[in-house]
Amino acid sequence: MAKTYISEIGPNQEVTSSFVVAEKQLRVARNGTQFLTLKLVDKSGQISGRIWERAEEWSRTIAPKSVVCVRGRSELFRDELQLQIHDLSPLSLEKIDRSDFLPVSPKSVEDLFQRLRELASTIKRGALQRLTKQILSDAHLMERFKTAPAAKSMHHAYLGGLIEHTVAVMELVSLIAGYYPDLNRDLLVVGSMLHDIGKVDEFVYDLCIDYSSSGRLLGHMVLGVQIVDEKIRSLRSFPSEEAILLSHLILSHHGETALGAVRLPMTREAFVLHFADDLDAKMNSLTRILSDSKAGNEAWSPYQPLFERFFFRGFPAPTEGKTAIEPESGKDRGVQLRLWSSGGNPDD
């Protein structure tokens, strides 16, 4: 069976292909009918699937994180593409290619790692320099660091996403530190390099990206501090003050407790790291939203609940004889209302 990727699916299309069941939920419609919703994923994206016939039976049969062959038809519902599933069947792992299901960073992981090493080499403070060398020399940790995603779904949610995001944040704080010379640049660069290192233990990624048990129970900030503390204990005479400030950067980089921060940012460096981290995460999310040509209309994305707004994709390219923003037809033109009598001045 030829693989049809989610990115290749358009509205009103018959689909027969294999996907990973990332999540499932048995729900009840307004008329009392039960239906099953599935979050189906492959390396190109995700799509919601719905089963109306024998929903309860399928809910007992289908295991999360399993691979299924789906037969159904795609349709748009509230500007979102979904699959109405007519039939599906489990697939054994021996019959699939795992590379079909896990997305990968569009950037070279080895190039990103080389850039990370270059940024780390600019650190002048002796204790922080020794710490980064100790971490970079841990081959097993670095292999996981280069492979791990940065999130389950929101930003950089693909293999290699963690190092891609980390390097971007390191670049941003380096630029900001050059503009504000009172900042402790070395602390910022090391903090940005390590702020998400706990994600090597927070996620598992076999057929799809999900949280590990330690990830759910502790979260990547606590896990990250544990990793850094272990490395610091292996060094001789690491300053306790710098260890505390570095831990604070990791524990506070989400900015608000409502967003997962263990502590609020309480140093200038912590504020800078939070905003750099947030900026890169949001820009990656917006790139994904704006590049999804199958959702919304040409000019606008669907409503994004997380951001509480629509996003503008841009004015359409001008056709011959028209400007970029000229309406295509009379029905698209606004109606001019006469609010003032002839000859009158609205300011009178």
Each residue of 102-155: pLDDT tens digit?
Answer: 888 999 999 999 999 999 999 999 999 999 999 999 999 999 999 999 998 889
Q: Is residue 121 part of a domain?
A: yes
- pLDDT for res 1: 62
Residue with tokens 């980089």: 253
- pLDDT for res 321: 61
Pair 120, 231 in one domain: yes
- Nearest Cα to 142, choosing from 231, 210, 222? 231
Burial class (CB in 10 A: 0-12, 13-18, 19+), 10: exposed
- The tens digit of pLDDT for each residue in 15-56 reads 999 999 988 999 998 888 999 999 998 888 889 999 998 888
Pair 79, 225 in one domain: no
Q: Is residue 21 part of a domain?
A: yes
Pair 50, 140 in one domain: no
- Confirm if 260 and 277 have CB atoms less than 8 A apart: no
Q: Domain residues for 270?
A: 109-289
In the chain, the number of structural domains is 2
Give the residues of the chain that fall short of pLDDT 70: 1, 293-297, 319-348
Pair 117, 225 in one domain: yes
Compute the distance between CA of residue 11 and CA of residue 15 in angstroms, rounded to an integer: 10
Last residue of a domain, one of 100, 127, 143: 100
Indicate which CATH number applies to the domain containing 262. Answer: 1.10.3210
Amino acid at 101: F
Indicate which CATH number applies to the domain containing 38. Answer: 2.40.50.140
User: Strand, helix or coil at 253?
Assistant: coil
Read off the pTM.
0.79
* Percentage of residues in the chain having pLDDT higher than 90: 62
